[in-house]
């Protein structure tokens, strides 16, 4: 009997311990330690040897495939098509006679000619870049839509329409460039000045040249590619000055306030991380091709030359802001914006990289979460589980620094590097997020029921999309002129109404969260994005460029007695309630960078510092939110943090409550928040106070050291197991495609496809015996055929000869796409020659 009682007690204790572990709030690990290595191979070996747990940098194919087998055996590998290479062109002045005056001298810019820029698409052999520079670990790319991600094939179809090919056509490209320069030489202002010479064209007797910024800190990748591109451009008669610069110098020149008209640079070897696993891409079309988004030459900086294109702006804003009634209309705007961007060729893509992320296999209980489209991300740190509850993460930096940019949580260029975002994003919980595995808009701190999301739209007499949801007269909206929330009154309509609930906890300094965070963020954004007069100190043009259009979408808010929030908003997206609800969802982020957010009182202190000017703080620094400026606010730099702390003391002394929230927070509550912030700054040496699963416990800029600590506050809403369970969805993989490379027109084409499936994030596959497979021949009119299952994991497609008999002889892209319920669709491209 005693043995049975003892056994029962042991079982009960074990069960209680298991339940206690399962209910621990926050991430699995207690601490995350970041360090940096200046060489990729050193970072990889540190992980293999157990000196570090994760190498945060993606490893390209040339490096990974060259590792010794005994090294690879020690690594858990996460393969992701997460990187892209593109070329950004400076087109100033983008009009004849294609010259700008620099230091009193006319400088001719060949890339100011659209036809010259466009010809680069044919000049570059993308297949060579993938095969020879990336060692085959990648794919040719023509647009911003990463190969293999959902929702991309319609974008990438445009490559066929433009006649782009993986191999390019060097002879054609050189002739296009020659013809364009010859035409430019006949412009009256260039007559006798622009002359075809050997080996280079000349202008006023000097070789026509470009300054090409080539990333020297990517020695096996973009450095090699940059030299390859340069050789090709010189073949076309344009001299290339190869400026081998590191990331920081390139970034501050290309994306900063350097005037493109000064022609300091003409082309740059960009590299992009995917940023997320995506289902929709219209916002990336805007980011990569539309001037309004702020990522084109000039960056929407006042006082310098900016690339402009009203047509691209119009189409991308229509797609971005939901100005359509149907899915077909959405695609029309998104694709037309991209088509114009491809035609303008100010930015064009070369390839996607197959990237490899590595972790020490022996250190982890299970595989952790990662983005199928972007690789390691905030969910990696949240779901990583080690036996000792400690996690060591190594970042790569050729300059040996984790601190490459300003930790500015407000301005559009804050947190502009992978170094800062990798650390900062796990510090904040967003209202919603795109799932790292399904890319579905997912509820986090803000929740809703689909039934409470209603969209009603129509087109008015002018053809504009308008909402027909009546906004209650007592709904409130922030007025930047009167600095107050005002009722909207009668006769206001919106496209969507949705009701939201909130999962609140405490900020990292112990201050309770409330709806004040969300109200303040709305008012803050409107204030800094709206210019109320010429002397408005609370206005920033760069911030406005990224945020102003969004402020116009909010038509009114009703704060309900039960603590919920009903929002009336101008956004619609046919057929995807989660996307509409997510876009409408209240956000506590007052800044421009997704996933980066601080407590409202930190944002308010920064606002006062910037608006107050040099005389408004102890150090006398004239702070701003401008990217790459000397005085951009930084919440982890000691001098800036001292001024932020002093600002909080001043706010306490003034008994200060921001006008925009004075009706929603008491003086006592506001002062307690400021006091908590001061105590947090004194304890941790920084002002990154947010609400996420981690906070920065210790940082040492001089020694490149940051330690994150888990948020174990009992009020924190989530355990890590919740996310592991939520993300455990099926994944499918196309393992093999068998099809002929040649087929006569009018003859049946047989395609065999082998599929496997896993449960994310596992990489142990099993054969798929369900799902659908389609084969698309990308001709002028798509030929689409569905597959039949023949055996477990085997699918066979027969494209009838009757569908191919009218095809013109030539090479065609063939897309094989597979879908499984609950999984992200996958696709691969093949080619066939029809004769």
Residue 201's domain is classified under what CATH number?
A: 3.10.105.10
Cβ-proximal residues to 374 (8 Å cutoff; 6+ apart), any chain: 80, 82, 273, 274, 275, 276, 277, 436
Q: Is residue 485 domain-shared with residue 568, that is, in the same domain? A: yes
Residue 675: pLDDT above 90? yes
Question: How many folded domains does the chain comprise?
Answer: 3
Arithmetic mean of pLDDT, 338-343: 98
- Using DSSP's 3-state secondary structure scheme, residue 220 falls into coil
Q: Which two tokens stand for residue 45?
A: 């070996």
Residue at a domain's end among 317, 332, 352: 352
Mean pLDDT computed over 787-801: 85
**382 part of a folded domain:** no
Sheet holding 742-743, edge to edge: 742-743, 826-834, 810-819, 772-777, 783-786
The DSSP element (H or E) to which 538 belongs, if any, is: none
Interhelix angle 310-320/282-289, nearest 10 degrees: 160
Residues 737 and 706 in one domain: no
- Check whether residue 126 and residue 272 sit in a common domain: yes
**Per-residue pLDDT at 752 exceeds 70:** yes
| Residue 592 pLDDT level (bands cut at 50, 70, 90) | confident
**Cβ 519 vs Cβ 660: under 8 Å:** yes
Task: pLDDT band for 289, please (50, 70, 90 cuts).
Answer: very high
Same domain, 233 and 189: yes
Residue 561: its pLDDT value, please?
Answer: 97
Give the contacts of 528 (CB within 8 A, at least 6 positions apart). Answer: 410, 538, 539, 540, 543, 544, 547, 607, 625
Stretch among 267-281, 365-379, 512-526, 732-746 having the lowest mean pLDDT? 267-281
Would you say residue 10 has pLDDT above 70?
no
Specify if 360 maps to a domain.
Answer: no
Averaged pLDDT of the chain: 92
pLDDT band per the 50, 70, 90 thresholds, residue 467 = very high
Q: What is the CATH number of the domain that holds 742?
A: 2.60.40.2950
pLDDT of 398: 76
By C-alpha distance, which of 81, 764, 43 is closest to 356? 81
Tell me the mean pLDDT in the region 652-656: 98
Q: Which domain holds residue 140?
A: 82-352
Residues 218 and 313 in one domain: yes
Task: Tell me: pLDDT of 639 over 80.
Answer: yes
Considering the domain architecture, whether residues 690 and 759 belong to the same structural domain is answered as no
In a domain, 740, yes or no: yes
- Does residue 57 sit within a domain? no
- Shared domain for 651 and 565, answered yes or no, is yes
Tens digits of residue pLDDT in 526-555: 999 999 998 999 999 989 988 998 999 999
**What is the percent of the chain where pLDDT is above 90?**
73
- Average of pLDDT values for 682-702? 96
Q: Residue 3 has what pLDDT?
A: 45
CA distance 428 to 589: 10
Q: Does position 741 have pLDDT exceeding 60, yes or no?
A: yes
Residues 696 and 753 in one domain: no
Q: Are residues 498 and 555 in the same domain?
A: yes
> Does 41 fall in a domain?
no
Same domain, yes or no, for 824 and 681? no
More confident residue, 665 or 220: 665
Whether residue 136 sits in one domain with residue 162: yes
∠61-64-66 over CA atoms, to 5°? 100
For residue 482, pLDDT beyond 80: yes
- DSSP annotation string for 278-289: -S--HHHHHHHH
* pLDDT value at residue 680: 98
In a domain, 365, yes or no: no
Pick from 86, 268, 292, 112: which is nearest to 189 by CA? 112
Measured distance CA(189)–CA(743) in Å, rounded: 54
Return the structure tokens found at 241: 């000055």
Question: What six digits make up the tokens of 701?
Answer: 């800029």
Q: Based on the domain organization, do 694 and 782 belong to the same domain?
A: no
Of residues 813 and 325, the one with the higher pLDDT is 325
Supply the pTM of this predicted model: 0.81
Q: Is the per-residue pLDDT at 243 higher than 90?
A: yes
In a domain, 301, yes or no: yes
């Amino acid at each position: 009997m005693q043995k049975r009682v003892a056994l029962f007690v042991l079982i009960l204790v074990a069960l209680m311990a298991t339940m206690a572990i399962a209910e621990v709030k926050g991430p699995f690990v207690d601490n995350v330690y970041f360090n940096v290595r200046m060489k990729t191979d050193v970072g990889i070996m540190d992980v293999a040897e157990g000196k570090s747990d994760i190498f945060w940098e993606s490893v390209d194919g040339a490096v990974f495939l060259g590792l010794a087998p005994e090294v690879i055996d020690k690594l858990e590998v996460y393969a992701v098509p997460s990187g892209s290479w593109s070329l950004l062109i400076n087109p100033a002045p983008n009009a004849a006679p294609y010259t700008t005056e620099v230091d009193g001298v006319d400088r001719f810019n060949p890339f100011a000619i659209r036809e010259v820029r466009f010809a680069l698409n044919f000049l570059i052999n993308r297949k060579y870049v993938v095969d020879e520079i990336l060692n085959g670990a990648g794919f040719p790319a023509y647009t911003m839509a990463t190969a293999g991600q959902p929702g991309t094939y319609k974008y990438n179809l445009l490559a066929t329409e433009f006649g782009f090919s993986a191999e390019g056509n060097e002879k054609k490209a050189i002739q296009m460039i020659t013809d364009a320069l010859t035409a430019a030489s006949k412009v009256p202002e260039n007559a006798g000045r622009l002359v075809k010479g050997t080996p280079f064209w000349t202008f006023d007797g000097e070789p026509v040249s470009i300054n090409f910024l080539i990333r020297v800190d990517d020695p096996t990748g973009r450095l090699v590619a940059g030299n390859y591109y340069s050789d090709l451009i010189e073949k076309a008669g344009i001299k290339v000055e190869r400026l081998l610069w590191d990331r920081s110098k390139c970034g501050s020149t290309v994306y900063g306030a350097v005037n493109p008209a000064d022609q300091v640079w003409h082309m740059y070897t960009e590299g992009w991380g995917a940023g997320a696993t995506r289902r929709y891409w219209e916002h990336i079309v805007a980011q990569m091709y539309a001037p309004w988004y702020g990522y084109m030459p000039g960056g929407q900086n006042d006082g310098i030359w900016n690339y402009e294109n009203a047509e691209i702006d119009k189409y991308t804003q229509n797609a971005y802001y939901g100005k359509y009634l149907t899915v077909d209309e959405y695609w029309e705007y998104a694709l037309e914006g991209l088509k114009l961007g491809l035609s303008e060729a100010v930015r064009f893509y070369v390839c996607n990289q197959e990237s490899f992320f590595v972790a020490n296999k022996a250190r982890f209980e299970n595989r952790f979460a990662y983005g199928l489209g972007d690789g390691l991300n905030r969910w990696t740190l949240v779901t990583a589980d080690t036996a000792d509850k400690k996690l060591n993460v190594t970042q790569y930096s050729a300059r040996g620094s984790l601190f490459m940019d300003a930790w500015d949580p407000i301005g559009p260029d804050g947190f502009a590097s992978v170094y800062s975002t990798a650390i900062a994003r796990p510090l904040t919980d967003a209202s919603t997020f795109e799932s790292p595995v399904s890319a579905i808009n997912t509820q986090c701190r803000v929740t809703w029921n689909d039934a409470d999301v209603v969209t009603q739209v129509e087109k008015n007499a002018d053809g504009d999309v308008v909402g027909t949801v009546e906004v209650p007269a007592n709904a409130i909206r922030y007025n930047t002129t009167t600095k107050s929330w005002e009722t909207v009154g009668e006769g206001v309509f919106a496209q969507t109404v949705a009701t939201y609930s909130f999962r609140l906890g405490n900020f990292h300094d112990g201050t309770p969260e409330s709806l004040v965070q969300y109200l303040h963020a709305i008012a803050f954004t409107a204030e800094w994005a709206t210019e109320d007069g010429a002397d408005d100190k609370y206005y920033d043009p760069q911030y406005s460029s990224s945020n102003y259009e969004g402020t116009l979408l909010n038509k009114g808010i009703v704060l309900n007695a039960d603590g919920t929030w009903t929002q009336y908003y101008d956004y619609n997206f046919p057929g995807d309630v989660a996307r509409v609800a997510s876009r409408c969802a209240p956000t506590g982020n007052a800044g421009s960078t997704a996933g980066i957010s601080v407590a409202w009182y930190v944002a308010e202190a920064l606002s006062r510092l910037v608006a107050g000017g040099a005389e408004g703080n102890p150090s006398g620094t004239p702070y701003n939110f401008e990217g790459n400026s000397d005085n951009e606010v930084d919440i982890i730099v000691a001098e800036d943090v001292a001024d932020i702390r002093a600002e909080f003391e001043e706010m306490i002394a003034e008994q200060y409550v921001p006008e925009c929230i004075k009706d929603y927070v008491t003086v006592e509550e506001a002062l307690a928040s400021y006091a908590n912030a001061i105590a947090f700054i004194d304890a941790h040496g920084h002002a990154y106070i947010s609400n996420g699963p981690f906070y920065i416990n210790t940082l040492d800029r001089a020694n490149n050291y940051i330690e994150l600590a888990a948020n174990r506050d009992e009020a924190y809403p989530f355990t890590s197991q919740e996310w592991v369970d939520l993300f455990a969805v099926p994944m499918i993989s196309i393992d093999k495609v068998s099809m002929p490379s040649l087929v006569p027109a009018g003859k049946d084409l047989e395609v065999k496809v082998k599929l496997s499936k896993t449960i994310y994030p596992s990489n142990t596959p099993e054969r798929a015996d369900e799902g659908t497979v389609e084969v698309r021949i990308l001709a002028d009119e798509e030929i689409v055929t569905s597959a039949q299952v023949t055996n477990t994991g085997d699918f066979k497609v027969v494209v009838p000869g009757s569908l191919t008999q009218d095809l013109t002889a030539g090479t065609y892209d063939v897309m094989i796409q597979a879908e499984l319920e609950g999984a992200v669709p996958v696709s691969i491209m093949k080619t066939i020659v029809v004769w």
